[in-house]
Chain A
Amino acid sequence: MRICEVMDRDLTALSADTTLAEAIEILTRHRVSGLPVVDGTGRVVGFISEKDIVKAALPGYFDYLQDPSFIPDYGQFQKRLKKIGKDPVSKIMAKEVVSFSEEDSDFYVAITLIRNHLKRAPVVREGILVGVVNRADLLERIMLEEEPPSFA
């Protein structure tokens, strides 16, 4: 099956100069975990997920903590998040974007998403955003499809 049959043809995207505060608002209002970043022509130039924003707002030593449970509250996190809220999306977005074309097979897309630990990725036509593919939608599709004949 080609990915164009299961993709979500939604063009909701951010531009590189969108602030992170605005990006958070758009992510929550559209109820998605990540969005493509596009230029004025719709060309995909990056991708930003809530994970990227959380990472940017956490203190640098956080990665070295084995267990964050002794941290009393999120006061520091909130302070940093508000500070980076005025930064543009381009500052922390992933610039090397994993993207697909409409003709890609569902299996290839599934494998690539797993390999790159991704939940969502843009689908492009000649570099221009035409939709997004979600891990959950793929799972649902695979679940509903008939099993292929076994080689055994």
Chain B
Amino acid sequence: MIVTVTLNPAVDEEYVVPEFRPGGWFRVSRVQRSPGGKGINVSLVLKQLGVETAAMGFLAGFSGEYVRDVLRKAQITTNFLHVRGETRTNVYIVDEVGKVETGLAEPGPYISEEEISRFLSNYERILKRTELVVLGGSLPPGVPQDFYCELIRIAKQREIPTLIDAAGAPLLAALDEGPTYAKVDQRFMGAYEGVALNSLDNLIEAVQRVHSHGVEWVIASYRTYGNVFCTPEGVFLAEFDRKGIVSMFGSGEALIAGLIVAGQEGMETMDRIVFGMAAALENALHVEKGVKDRAAVEKQIPRIRFERLL
């Protein structure tokens, strides 16, 4: 089973408001509500591709109930700890006329030390039947910045591979512990290296440096529709064009889910990358997060441009 950890889940609310501007009063023409958080998104896509998955982390209040309910209806195994407060809501205001997107993100509920230790005992229990742990997203208030480090260490002791998709200080701390896979943002890599990574060569160098720290697979976003993959078999670039793309929201998580599914099926590195990218592309072709099904993902495979860089 694939376990995903989302410590700070969210309800994503996307409001479509033509000609939105601050200070006004607007009627919303359309609203789209969905459970969010990187780990949860990965679980949803894994399920759509027919892989057994369990989602865990912290949920709170009314929004937390909503997230749990959607996961339950999708028949995804859950092991969330319910805490005081309210799971955060992330609001996106999309102005299709002015082509501007505005975002508001809440910090999330406060997690006490006792709740962290309860979470850890659930985590250790579920690891007994886990093939891979996916750690994703930001940390809620109260959770120490090096918490991902601890989760990776515990999984490593049991020889369970880990994948991290995060940013900032929590990711930096986690990289020291050597997760098996790390998905990083090009902007983050720039900050990590202290230089702007405006050329592909710079990015490759930075990715390889992370790889040499003991991270087997480093996946770094490159331009809008591409990723650089540093793997034990070499360094690759995979991209797709912008034709038919509606929203890249959730595509990073679809990529991760695709890589995992292909890995489980024993595909070669190159086929894994192409399958993962096809899942990311399929996710981007419609407003709803996630992929339609496996056949829809396979249909996008011919659109993935793939090349070996090193």
- Residues on A close to B: CB < 8 A? 8-12, 15, 26, 29-30, 38, 40-42, 128, 130-131
A128 to B122 Cα, complex, angstroms: 14
Q: How far is the CB of A41 from chain B (nearest CB, A)?
A: 5
Interface locus among B71-79, B184-192, B264-272? B71-79
In the complex, which residues of chain A have a beta carbon less than 8 angstroms from the beta carbon of B120?
none
Tell me if B125 is interfacial: C-beta within 8 Å of chain A: yes
Tell me if B121 is interfacial: C-beta within 8 Å of chain A: yes
From 33 to 83 in chain B, residues with beta carbon under 8 angstroms from any chain A beta carbon are 54, 68, 72, 75-80, 82-83
Q: Are B125 and A9 in contact (CB under 8 A)?
A: no
Secondary structure at the A interface, as helix, strand, loop or mixed, is mixed
Q: Are B77 and A131 in contact (CB under 8 A)?
A: yes
Tell me if B128 is interfacial: C-beta within 8 Å of chain A: yes
In the complex, which residues of chain A have a beta carbon less than 8 angstroms from the beta carbon of B76?
9
- For chains A and B in complex, what number of residue pairs have CB atoms within 8 angstroms? 40
Q: Are A9 and B78 in contact (CB under 8 A)?
A: yes
Tell me if B169 is interfacial: C-beta within 8 Å of chain A: no
Tell me if B309 is interfacial: C-beta within 8 Å of chain A: no
A10 to B56 Cα, complex, angstroms: 10
Among A30, A42, A131, which residue has its beta carbon within 8 angstroms of that of B125?
A: A42
**Size band of the B side of the interface?**
10 to 19
Among A9, A30, A41, which residue has its beta carbon within 8 angstroms of that of B77?
A: A9
Q: Are A40 and B124 in contact (CB under 8 A)?
A: yes
Tell me if B195 is interfacial: C-beta within 8 Å of chain A: no
Q: Are A42 and B128 in contact (CB under 8 A)?
A: yes
A130 to B68 Cα, complex, angstroms: 16
In the complex, which residues of chain A have a beta carbon less than 8 angstroms from the beta carbon of B84?
29
Closest to B72 in A: A8
Q: Are A42 and B77 in contact (CB under 8 A)?
A: no
A118 to B54 Cα, complex, angstroms: 27
Q: Are A11 and B79 in contact (CB under 8 A)?
A: yes
Tell me if B245 is interfacial: C-beta within 8 Å of chain A: no
Among B82, B124, B126, which residue has its beta carbon within 8 angstroms of that of A30?
A: B82
Q: Are B82 and A11 in contact (CB under 8 A)?
A: no
- Provide a sorted-by-A list of 23 A–B residue pairs whose CB atoms are within 8 angstroms: A9-B54, A9-B72, A9-B75, A9-B77, A10-B68, A10-B77, A11-B54, A11-B77, A11-B78, A11-B122, A12-B78, A12-B79, A12-B80, A26-B82, A29-B82, A29-B84, A30-B82, A38-B125, A40-B125, A41-B125, A42-B125, A42-B128, A131-B77
